[in-house]
Amino acid sequence: PELEKWVDEVPRPSVLKPDGRKKGKSYYEVDMRQVEQQLHRDLPPTTVWGYEGQYPGPTIETKRGEDVYVKWKNNLPEEHLLPVDETLHGTGPDVPDVRTVTHLHGANVEPESDGGPEAWFTQNFEEVGPTFEKKTYWYANEQPSTSLWYHDHALGITRLNVYAGLAGFYFIRGKHERALDLPDGKYEIPLVFQDRTFNDDGSLFYPSGPDEDEGEPNPDPSVVPEFFGDTSVVNGKAWPRLTVKPRKYRFRMLAGGNSRFFNLKLFQYDEETQTIGDPGPTMTQIGSDGGFLEKPVEISDRLLLGPAFRADIIIDFSEYEGQSLLLHNNAPSPFSGVAGEDPDDVQPLPEIMLFDVQEKGCKRDKSCIPKRLARVPEINPDNAVEERELPLVEGVDEYDRLKLLLGTRESPNGLNWDAPITEDPKVGTTEIWDLINTTVDTHPIHLHLVQFQVLGRRPFNVDQYNADRESGSVGPISDYCTGELEPPAANNRGWKDTIDADPGYVTQVIAHFGKFKGLFKDFTGEYPWHCHILEHEDHEMMRPYEVLPRED
């Protein structure tokens, strides 16, 4: 359906209240339910899945250093809302279609509470997955203040469960944060950017397979290589507008679509003629996935948000009284690291939302953008005890469908999710992971448990590497590098848990698996790492890794 743009206000997710105390700490119960929700003024109500019956789910507000308990409960119907491909890993006729497990993305968390893909459960925990351990999760919150987000992670159907609506914010706030005098209260707004496609009756559309012309018949339904919706949905409203005062705001941004990258910039906008004018206010980034940056970074051109990235952003509207501003996206879909409109892009989503800046007449804006935000202790590469070469490669599955995989130096052609563990860092040690992208698209690679740092990226000879990989004679990656390490952009120099690994580059990240300079906690056990394009993750672009205990 053609929906009129900018008619609904951006809703603000509610804040979840604790249901009580457990072991002296806040205890929450969160119910997943199927509900009808109005996603646009002119659209019939849409059936969605929501935590506490809300899409997006309510925001969980926590304090740094104060652990909390959450019991996630599945009260969803027995039938899935969307087409389930029963040939993917973790699925099949013997596995219930509606199974859920909630992962707190970016959390430094014990494995039993991580919400891994095989720890799923059904209504009333009647059936549970092979790695299910407990009903009530424990979150330590011993990490820098930041925006985490929770979302579904059930093996083989994550893309469907998240698309149906299972996602929400989780904030960790520290004392230090209050002292920064950032815009707060009604001037601090979480924004989750998603893309959806709707049927005329208001229901969510998700493809049951690739388009016919894309090749041989597939299983029906079949997973698709990626999914891009044609409608921008922000905080659960299609093409919304946000009325703001001419002052500073803090936006907690999250790219929460299945496959879509967002490359964002504000422009002055004439609503009447629907024309884009001069650039609007710049964005100042103060935080990344896992915490504050050391210093604010003014985004000179565009802000890139790959799937699951968060950006803590200050925008000052004080010079734009009475104006409309369009949040514009020019990331091609699929994204390959090259910014700018792509004439061949069949699913672009240039318009994200509108900001309406009111006329003056409000109180003085006492908030500020501090010169220094936080200390981000550097993980020193000299301390790395291991450097792992991890190729991102293309393969095919038994139905001849393109399947993206993660590999190792020994298995450079990729390994499935259920292959034995190959990455096994010891707790308390530092490692460098080289993400060698041999494919044509950018993959947002996410590690559970840790917040890592980005060392940079190096171009390499993909054709030579792929030829050697296929002939079984691949050498060390340094033999293929064609240039020096390019350092990360200023806004990628903080804590990250998901990184865009661009094609043709070796993206180097460094992680410390344990407590680090008063931050994080030591945890051992199994965690996944994967591509956060949900269609890739569901189709084998995910591997388990294990943090091993200390040897005494």
**Contacted entry of Cu ion, ligand C2O, none for residue 528, CB cut-off 5 to 8 Å set by kind:** ligand C2O
CA distance 151 to 57: 9
Task: Pick the piece of the chain touching ligand C2O (CB under 6 A) from 320-328, 458-466, 499-507, 528-536.
Answer: 528-536
Q: Pick from 328, 443, 496, 530 the residue near Cu ion by CB under 5 A.
A: 443
Contact between residue 145 and residue 291 where contact means Cβ atoms under 8 Å apart: yes
Which region holds residue 417: left if phi is over 0, alpha if psi is between -120 and 50, else beta? alpha
CA distance 509 to 506: 10
Alpha helices in 400-512 (DSSP H): 462-471
Q: Pick from 415, 449, 477, 533 the residue near Cu ion by CB under 5 A.
A: 533
CA distance 339 to 347: 15
**Contacted entry of ligand C2O, Cu ion, none for residue 443, CB cut-off 5 to 8 Å set by kind:** Cu ion
Q: Pick from 196, 237, 448, 512 the residue near ligand C2O by CB under 6 A.
A: 448
**Contacted entry of Cu ion, ligand C2O, none for residue 103, CB cut-off 5 to 8 Å set by kind:** ligand C2O
DSSP bridge partners of 356: 243, 324
Q: Pick from 407, 444, 528, 544 the residue near ligand C2O by CB under 6 A.
A: 528
Task: Pick the piece of the chain touching ligand C2O (CB under 6 A) from 223-231, 238-246, 316-324, 526-534.
Answer: 526-534
**Binding flag, residue 539, Cu ion (CB under 5 A):** no
Is there a cis peptide before residue 370, judged by omega within 30 degrees of 0? no
Coil, helix or strand for 462? helix
Q: Which C-beta is closer to ligand C2O: that of 417 or that of 460?
A: 417
Residues numbered 161-190 forming contacts with ligand C2O, rule: CB under 6 A: none
Q: What is the nearest approach in angstroms of ligand C2O to the Cβ of residue 155? A: 11
Q: What are phi and psi of 110, to 5 degrees?
A: -65, 150
Residues numbered 302-341 forming contacts with ligand C2O, rule: CB under 6 A: 308
Q: Which C-beta is closer to ligand C2O: that of 401 or that of 448?
A: 448
Looking only at the bridges linking them, the beta strands covering 167-173 and 57-63 are: parallel
Looking only at the bridges linking them, the beta strands covering 283-288 and 310-316 are: antiparallel
**Binding flag, residue 384, Cu ion (CB under 5 A):** no
Neighbours of 225 (CB within 10 A): 17
Q: Taking Cα atoms as reference points, which of 289, 182, 178, 291 lies closest to residue 519?
A: 291
CA distance 451 to 494: 9
**Binding flag, residue 151, ligand C2O (CB under 6 A):** yes
Q: Which C-beta is closer to ligand C2O: that of 84 or that of 104?
A: 104
Q: Which C-beta is closer to Cu ion: that of 105 or that of 443?
A: 443
Site string for ligand C2O, 98-127 (x = CB under 6 A): -----x-x----------------------
The alpha carbon torsion through 108, 298, 433, 535 (nearest 10 deg) reads: 80
Q: Taking Cα atoms as reference points, which of 193, 237, 184, 163 lies closest to residue 327?
A: 193
CA distance 208 to 84: 8
Contact between residue 531 and residue 466 where contact means Cβ atoms under 8 Å apart: no
Amino acid 433 reads W
Task: Pick the piece of the chain touching ligand C2O (CB under 6 A) from 210-218, 233-241, 325-333, 527-535.
Answer: 527-535
Q: Tell the residue number behind the tokens 């388009």, with chain if given.
A: 211
Q: What is the nearest approach in angstroms of Cu ion to the Cβ of residue 392? A: 7
**Binding flag, residue 531, Cu ion (CB under 5 A):** yes
Contact between residue 135 and residue 71 where contact means Cβ atoms under 8 Å apart: yes
Task: Pick the piece of the chain touching ligand C2O (CB under 6 A) from 254-262, 382-390, 411-419, 525-533.
Answer: 525-533
Q: Which C-beta is closer to Cu ion: that of 327 or that of 531?
A: 531
**Binding flag, residue 153, ligand C2O (CB under 6 A):** yes
Q: Pick from 64, 73, 241, 446 the residue near ligand C2O by CB under 6 A.
A: 446
CA distance 298 to 283: 6
Q: What is the nearest approach in angstroms of ligand C2O to the Cβ of residue 181? A: 31
**Contacted entry of Cu ion, ligand C2O, none for residue 531, CB cut-off 5 to 8 Å set by kind:** Cu ion
Q: Tell the residue number behind the tokens 């699929």, with chain if given.
A: 334
Q: Which C-beta is closer to Cu ion: that of 113 or that of 437?
A: 437
Compute CA distances 405 → 217, 412, 533, whole Å: 22, 10, 12
**Binding flag, residue 543, Cu ion (CB under 5 A):** no
Task: Pick the piece of the chain touching Cu ion (CB under 5 A) from 30-38, 242-250, 472-480, 532-540.
Answer: 532-540
By the criterion CB under 5 A, which residues form the site for Cu ion?
A: 443, 531, 533, 536
By the criterion CB under 6 A, which residues form the site for ligand C2O?
A: 103, 105, 151, 153, 308, 446, 448, 528, 530, 532
